[in-house]
Amino acid sequence: MTKAQESGGDDRWQRTLVQMMQGQAYRELAAAHLFGHGLQFVPEMRWLKLFSWHVREELEHYEAVARMYHDFTGESVEPIVNTRLGERPVPLASSFYELAMAQFLYDRGGFWQLREYEECSFEPYRKVVRKIVEEERGHQALGERLVVELSLTGRYDTDKQKVFERWLRQGLLSFGRPGSEGARYAITMGLKKRDPGEVMHDFLDDIAAAMRLCGLVLPPLATLGIEGPPKAPEIVPPGPESALPRTERSAGQTAA
């Protein structure tokens, strides 16, 4: 008997958990597709090794979620994920700079989203999430470092805001819609900690310093098709290059 069958009559609780697992499985495999496709743009062995490792890690996380889903439902999540990827394929990077931006924003958005389930009342989900979060924590700075270094070279000034907005949208989509009834139910049942609007606010605050270093501007979220948090964090406009820390200026001048 599956855990879903054992849990009895709370159909909504079961449906919510199933949706959570399906969504997480989709995000893990989508990330593997994104970074696997992007390997063709990686110019140096040091970065190629890191991005290759990241692809393997995303696949391991997908496998962990798929195993949990099978234990809970008695079914495979793979047909559902593959159908969803066919209907909503993950955007793909077209350059190393865009791959770095995806690592910075899409991957970090997924990290912030997962942290909301670290205290999940359903123990199997909590255990899987904690393992993924711990492993993801190790490379959260990679994308930010690359984006800052590459942006400071000045080579990407024409396109950097457009690339930033594209992947900012993808990162923000990880959190779901602020204030939804479904989010309130999940919080009430102890499946997640906070409303998506609160998580989104903290995510935007977390990337603010790197945005400023890169000379990027936070657009109105509505222009990205995103319903933002009730109160967006204050983003300090980018200052002149002379205002950047010397170590960051030096890194930008030597970036590949």
* Predicted local distance difference test score (pLDDT) of residue 233: 57
**Tens of pLDDT along the chain (256 residues)?**
344 444 444 899 999 999 999 999 999 999 999 999 999 999 999 999 999 999 999 999 999 999 999 999 999 999 999 999 999 998 999 999 999 999 999 999 999 999 999 999 999 999 999 999 998 886 778 889 999 999 999 999 999 999 999 999 999 999 999 999 999 999 999 999 999 999 999 999 999 999 999 999 999 999 999 987 766 555 554 443 433 333 333 333 334 3
* Predicted local distance difference test score (pLDDT) of residue 142: 86
Tally of CB atoms within 10 A around 75: 13
Does the 9-254 domain belong in CATH 3.10.20.90?
Answer: no
Do 7 and 73 contact (CB within 8 A), yes or no?
no
Write the secondary structure of the chain as one string of H (helix), E (strand) and C (coil).
Answer: CCHHHHCCCCHHHHHHHHHHHHHHHHHHHHHHHHHHHHHHHCCCHHHHHHHHHHHHHHHHHHHHHHHHHHHHHCCCCHHHHHHHHHHCCCCCCCCHHHHHHHHHHHHHHHHHHHHCCCCCCCHHHHHHHHHHHHHHHCCHHHHHHHHHHHHCCCCCCCCHHHHHHHHHHHHHHCCCCCCCHHHHHHHHCCCCCCCHHHHHHHHHHHHHHHHHHHCCCCCCHHHHCCCCCCCCCCCCCCCCHHHCCHHHHHHHHHCC
pTM: 0.84
* Predicted local distance difference test score (pLDDT) of residue 140: 73
CA-closest candidate to residue 99, choices 154, 55, 64: 55
* Predicted local distance difference test score (pLDDT) of residue 255: 40
* Predicted local distance difference test score (pLDDT) of residue 6: 44
